[in-house]
Structures are given as C-alpha cells and as structure tokens.
Amino acid sequence: MANEAHPCPCDIGHKIEYGGMGREVQVEHIQAYVTKPPFDTGKAVIVIQDIFGWQLPNTRYMADMIAGNGYTTIVPDFFVGQEPWHPSGDWSTFPEWLKTRDARKIDKEVDAVLKYLKQQCHAQKIGAVGFCWGGVAVHHVMMKYPEFRAGVSVYGIVKDSEDVHSLKNPTLFIFAENDAVIPLEQVSLLTQKLKKHCKVEYQIKTFSGQTHGFVHRKREDCSAEDKPYIDEARRNLLEWLHKYV
C-alpha cells in the first residue's frame, strides 16, 4: 500500500492496492463502476466519490463491501470526465479546482444513475453513501430526492446554511473528532438545527480521536487504536442501510 500522507487534512490516509470485483459501464453521459451482490435483492446504493475521483481503489473497495451485503452498488464519475484531485497537486490551487466541481450541482448525473438502476438493475429501493466531497453530495440528495430510502454522509463538510435540516430521508452523518476540515462547532450547529427542525430519522456520530478520511482512507492495519473505530463506522454504515433501504 502506498502512503500518500500530506499535511492537508483532505489527504490523510492511504491509497490501497485493490483491483475491484465490479465492472465499468457507461451510464448516459458518465462512466461508472458497478458491482452486483451475491443475489438480487432489488436494492441498490449509489456510492459517491471523494476528491480523488471515482477510480480511487479505496472507494471501490467500500462499494464492493456494500455489494457483498446485498446491494447493487454503483460509483459514478460525478466529475464527468474532469480530472480528480491529485495528491501531489498544488493545494493553493485547490479552491479554484473545487469551484468547477460543485457537490450540490449533480442532479443531472443523479437522475441518469437512478434511471439506470431502476431500468437496468431493477432496483426498487435505493440509498446513497458518500465520502468527503461525496458526503456533501449525499446531504444534497437527501434534501432533494424523496425517492431515496436513506443516505450516509461520511465526513461531508457542513456549512452554516438555512436548509441543512430539511432532510427528506433518514440520514446518518459520520464525523471525526480531530477533523481539521470540519470543526466540531459545525457538527454541533448541524445537530442543533436537525434536532429543532428535522422531521425524518437521522443520527450524528463523531468518532473519538479520528481524522478526516478514517472510514475509507485509513488502512485497516494502520494502527490497533484506529481499527475498532474504522470497523464500527463501517458497521454503522451498513446497519443504517439495512434498516432503511
């Protein structure tokens, strides 16, 4: 496994060596990675990438893990052919790079993927899971698409805005205590707003001592102290899907 450690919090973790169990397909105007479960359940999960793109082995590993638990999983290229962020990139240019990849402007891609899952995969119940950039995207679709059964937003940046609480579907939020990208004050504000306004089921979990990326970008063997938290977060993710999708 190659270590890509970098001072920027978005790049804490490792790129794992993993080939994947699925296959790449074309879904209208976008490419996607699809993995089928051992048996058809009529359930599917859209897995949304982080800044390192839809081909990151870590994300495909997570998609295959979810598929192994009974879901057709699909990892679409939500950057639509644009280059993902590279670990060796100049972080001073990152804000400009990010402006061209808005996690809240993905409706055209979501619509295409939903159509594919329903027509080609015969999915009747659909959920969404996203990491980092994808966590923001999941938060967006949970507020816009009633047809999703549930979502899991994993360290998706939460900003102070008026609509963060208007969820239409049960949503699990997973955060890390030592996340320099997402201060605990933002998590606290989200908690307050959801408690006051949200009308659907939700849960917010903050994992002690963990950093941004811990669920999918830390090697499971990286440290005996981290492994229980990684395992618990992944278990919680699956439990949420099993409960609501």
Condensed to tens digits (0 to 9), the pLDDT of residues 192-230 reads 999 999 999 999 999 999 999 999 986 655 677 888 999
Query: What is the average pLDDT value for the chain, to the nearest integer?
Result: 91
Higher pLDDT, 218 or 175: 175
State the pairing for strand pair 30-35/23-27.
Answer: antiparallel
Give the pLDDT confidence score for residue 220 in this predicted structure: 57
Is 80 exceeded by the pLDDT of residue 136? yes
Residue 50 annotated as catalytic: no
Establish whether 212 is a catalytic residue.
yes
The 10 Å Cβ neighbour count of residue 220 is 11
Mean pLDDT of 135-161: 93
pLDDT reading at 138 higher than 90: yes
* Residue 11 reports pLDDT greater than 70: no
Residues 154-163 pLDDT 10s: 999 987 666 7
Q: Give pLDDT tens digits for 80-130.
A: 999 999 988 898 999 999 999 999 999 999 999 999 999 999 999 999 999
pLDDT at 112: 98
Indicate the pTM of the whole model: 0.93
Domain boundaries, the chain: 23-244
Annotated catalytic residue, options 132, 139, 140, 216? 132
Q: Tell me what pLDDT residue 2 has.
A: 31
DSSP string, 122-133: --SEEEEEEETH
**pLDDT classification of 10: cutoffs 50, 70, 90:** low
Is 6's pLDDT higher than 70? no
Active-site pick, 64, 121, 140, 212: 212
Structure tokens at 50: 């982080």
- Which residue in the block uniquely carries the two structure tokens 């395992």? 231
Active site annotation includes 10? no
Q: How confident is the model at residue 185 (pLDDT cuts 50, 70, 90)?
A: very high
Could you confirm whether domain 23-244 is CATH 2.60.15.10?
Answer: no
Closest CA relative to residue 157, chosen from 82, 218, 95: 95
In what helix (H) or strand (E) does residue 58 lie, and over which residues does it extend?
A: helix 57-67
- Express as a percent the part of the chain with pLDDT over 70: 91
Residue 176 has pLDDT above 60, yes or no: yes
Distance CA(111)–CA(127), nearest Å, equals: 14
Query: Whole-angstrom Cα distance, residue 43 to residue 133?
Result: 24
Q: Which of 64, 77, 179, 226 is catalytic?
A: 179
pLDDT tens by residue, 47-73: 999 999 999 999 999 999 999 999 999
Residue 161 CB neighbours (<10 A) = 8
With CA atoms as reference, report the closest residue to 109 among 77, 132, 143: 77
Nearest to 46 by CA among 66, 26, 28: 66
